[in-house]
Amino acid sequence: MLKKTTLAILGLSISSWAAAGTMGPVCTPDAATVPCETKMWDIGIDALFLRAVYDADMGYGIATINANDYKEIDNDWGWGYRLHGSYHFRTGNDITMTWLHYDVDTRHGYLAGTFPLGILIVPSYYNLYVDNQFDQVNLIMGQHVDYGVKKNVRYYGGFQYADIRVDSKLHYLVPAQFQPIFTQTVDGLQNTDFSGVGPVVGADFSYNVTPTFSVIANIAGSILYGSSRYNDSTFYSQSLVVLSRYGSKKSMVPSLEMKLGGHYEHPVAQGTINVEAGYQVINYFNALHTLTAAGTLANSDFGLYGPYVGVKWVGNV
């Protein structure tokens, strides 16, 4: 009996020692694969609810005549849209074109400034109206890659065109001491814009929570070459121009975009209907010019941010 017990203990010891010398569970990373060859079309539209923002050089106005207080240029929220269409071919390739359009104006109320009256520079309050316009067109080629069952990434690159324009109208209030001798209205215009073209690259990330719902994220960047312009003018009674200035220069403008949201896919007889909603931010760095309180030109970013919702139909060729 003692002999059998001794042999059993010896056997367990050898087994434990042998197990300790072998590898544990092997962690196998998800394989990167591409989809099977297919041919499909898709077309979609997104509704965008966005607000335009600038950096500090352009984002403040003088609130009082004595210039001891500033007021934020707080633009209104407004609607825009994005149209997009793609042709899918081979093993996960696509050619996609998108167009984003945004045009929203804002009345900012009273700010303080000056206008010329003969040889005088007259301090005055004015009503400010701002119209923010933005158009973006992308022509890109993408490659879909699956990382296991749940994760996939679409890498893409191509060309981007962007046109940014901020038009401001200033309606001055003529001070009371000048009204008996000066009966004309005084208005001003300040316009700044950028248009350029260049390469864009990005990636769409997706994690499948269920077979029909996924969490999505996107990041993209571009570097555009184009022209930045600025001009301003002051005129009396909508006709007599008493001050006009203009400037233009070539610019390299980088941009950064990000999105985060959810994606739902529903099969139908002729393909699938995809619904997506989330939040996005877009920023073009040093794209615009602005006139500072000291009367000099400075650069300003132009950005848009806000929620979006969209629908897309995908059908086989």
- Tens digit of each residue's pLDDT, the chain (317 residues): 434 444 444 454 444 444 444 444 444 566 789 999 999 999 999 999 999 999 988 988 878 777 678 888 899 999 999 999 999 999 999 999 999 999 999 999 888 888 888 778 888 899 999 999 999 999 999 999 999 999 999 999 999 999 999 999 999 988 888 887 777 889 999 999 999 999 999 999 999 999 999 999 999 999 999 999 999 999 888 677 888 889 999 999 999 999 999 999 999 988 999 999 999 999 999 999 998 766 678 999 999 999 999 999 999 86
Instruction: Evaluate the CA torsion angle 142, 145, 149, 150 in order and state its sign.
Output: negative
Question: What residues contact residue 278 under an 8 Å CB cut-off, 6+ apart?
Answer: 216, 259, 260, 261, 262, 307, 308
Question: Rounded to an integer, what distance in angstroms lies between the CA atom of residue 305 and that of residue 277?
Answer: 14
Instruction: Give me the residue spans of the domains in the chain.
Output: 32-185+267-279+302-316
Cα–Cα distance measured from residue 126 to residue 317, given in angstroms and rounded to the nearest whole number: 58
**pTM of the predicted structure, to 2 decimals:** 0.87
Per-residue three-class SS string for the chain: CHHHHHHHHHHHHHHHHHHHCCCCCCCCCCCEECCCCCCEEEEEEEEEEEEEEECHHHHEEECCCCCCCEEECCCCEEEEEEEEEEEEECCCEEEEEEEEEEEEEEEEEEEEEEEEECCEEEEEEEEEEEEEEEEEEEEEEEEEEEECCCEEEEEEEEEEEEEEEEEEEEEECCCHHHCCCCCCCEEEEEEEEEEEEEEEEEEEEEEECCCCEEEEEEEEEEEEEEEEEEEEEEEECCCEEEEEEEEEEEEEEEEEEEEEEEEEEEEECCEEEEEEEEEEEEEEEEEEEEECCCCCEEEEEEEEEEEEEEEEEEEEC
In this structure, how many other beta carbons lie within 10 angstroms of the beta carbon of residue 44?
19
